[in-house]
Amino acid sequence: MSDQPDCSGKSPSVPQVLTNSWQVFNEYEKKPATIKGDISIKYPFDWWDDFFAEIEFDDREIPFANRPGLDKKYYDPTLIAAYGLYNHNQFLLNGDILRRYTALRMADWLQANLQDWCELFFAWPLEYDEPFYGISQPWVSCQTQGLAISLLLRVAFFNNDASYEETALKAAKLFFVSCDAGGFVSRFKDGGLVFESFPGKEQALPLMGNIFAIIGIYELAHYFKDRNQETVFNSAVTGLVNNIEGYSFKKWLLKDLHPSKRVAGKTEVATIVKLLNILAKLSEDTILSNRAKCWQENYATHISALRYFFRTRWDDFRFRKVYSVNK
């Protein structure tokens, strides 16, 4: 069971739909975007082309999740937000207008499926169990919220539509709420700020999810010139810088700070290295980029690669009864 409160009992559950269900507004009802600062038109992280190669889609081309243990088709808001950002960047790269409209469809799905959470907040709950962390549905993740915010802000800017901004601001409130109260705020052992992706009985604190969340907060702060978000961003970066070494295990990179000490897979390492370099640039902190370089180099030698292979196989064996560890 999750340590988060059972927010599902406090507000009615919104069933997922097989097609987008957003309301159509005319141009007279549309309010222009209210951007006060700036935002990079391109999302700073680029997904590999084959990352989305095996996903399935419904008849409106909304992607389904493909996760271990799922026995039915499921819309994963984390995947949908990431796919929207990927298509947004592809549109900027090659000018394919279909890519832009795909990103728009993903943003519209997020708008239509934002749900009440703990009566006071809004989120995109994940409606599947996460057995490794002992989490029962529904639950929320900082990675989902961070990616969704980044997509919504770009669509708001491109479409000059304040409704996407409003959705992003609603979603941002959970970055000021503790995990115990249904939000994302957690703490490293030294008290530093960190955001949780898997709010289970034990802290998980995956590095990847935390950084995607921090990027979303950075973009909110700059888009709206919001000092509160800027303060949260700086605090989150400081917390990560002061605790980044905790993610090392015999020169390897750990998936998270869970007591299981699972080593990150090759794709996860590549992703986290890219994210750390992005965050280092945004925060102008070389500690993060230097740590990323070390982790990347540790996987480069033949001896390290062999040791890594045996370690990941051992992780697979240790947790074979839960589900296969992502590679």
| CATH code of residue 145 | 1.50.10.20
Task: Evaluate whether residue 203 is within a structural domain.
Answer: yes
- Quick check: is 266 in a domain? no
CB 266 within 8 A of CB 299: yes
Torsional sign, CA 247, 249, 250, 253: negative
Which one-letter DSSP state was computed for residue 249? E
Residue 120, Ramachandran bin (φ over 0: left; ψ between -120 and 50: alpha; else beta) = alpha
Number of structural domains found in the chain: 1
Taking Cα atoms as reference points, which of 127, 106, 140, 110 lies closest to residue 15?
127
Check pLDDT > 80 for residue 241: yes
The reply to whether omega before 131 is within 30° of 0 (cis) is: no
DSSP designation for 190? T
Range in 186-195, 218-227, 293-302 with the lowest mean pLDDT: 293-302
Structural domain contains residue 145 = yes
CA distance 78 to 151: 11
Structural domain boundaries, residue 230: 7-13+33-242
Cα separation of 115 and 176, whole Å?
Answer: 18
- Rounded CA-CA distance 31/110 in Å is 19
Residue 230: inside a domain, yes or no?
yes
- Residue 162 CA: distances (Å) to CA of 54, 158, 166, 228: 34, 11, 6, 20
Using alpha carbons, select from 57, 243, 47 the residue that is nearest to residue 150. Answer: 47
Tell me if 257 is assigned to some domain: no
- Strands 193-195 and 248-249, bridge-based pairing: unpaired
pTM of the model: 0.88
Please report the pLDDT score of residue 302 as a whole number.
56
Between the CA of residue 122 and those of 74, 173, 228, 292, 294, what are the distances in Å?
20, 8, 19, 34, 39
The mean per-residue pLDDT over the stretch 189-200 comes to 96
Establish if 72 belongs to a structural domain: yes
Render pLDDT for 17-40 as a digit per residue (tens, 0 to 9). 333 333 444 454 789 999 999 899
Amino acid making up residue 171: A
Asked if the structure places residue 281 within a domain, the reply is no
Model confidence band, residue 265 (pLDDT cutoffs 50, 70, 90): confident
Q: Is residue 167 part of a domain?
A: yes
Q: How confident is the model at residue 13 (pLDDT cuts 50, 70, 90)?
A: very low
Identify residue 218 by its one-letter amino acid code. Answer: Y
* pLDDT (mean) for 78-102: 96
Residue recorded with tokens 């499926």? 113
Average pLDDT, rounded, for the chain: 88
* Spatial contact of 220 and 175, defined as CB atoms under 8 Å apart: no
Residue 262 to residue 67: CA distance in whole angstroms: 18
**CA distance linking residue 33 with residue 209, whole number of Å:** 28
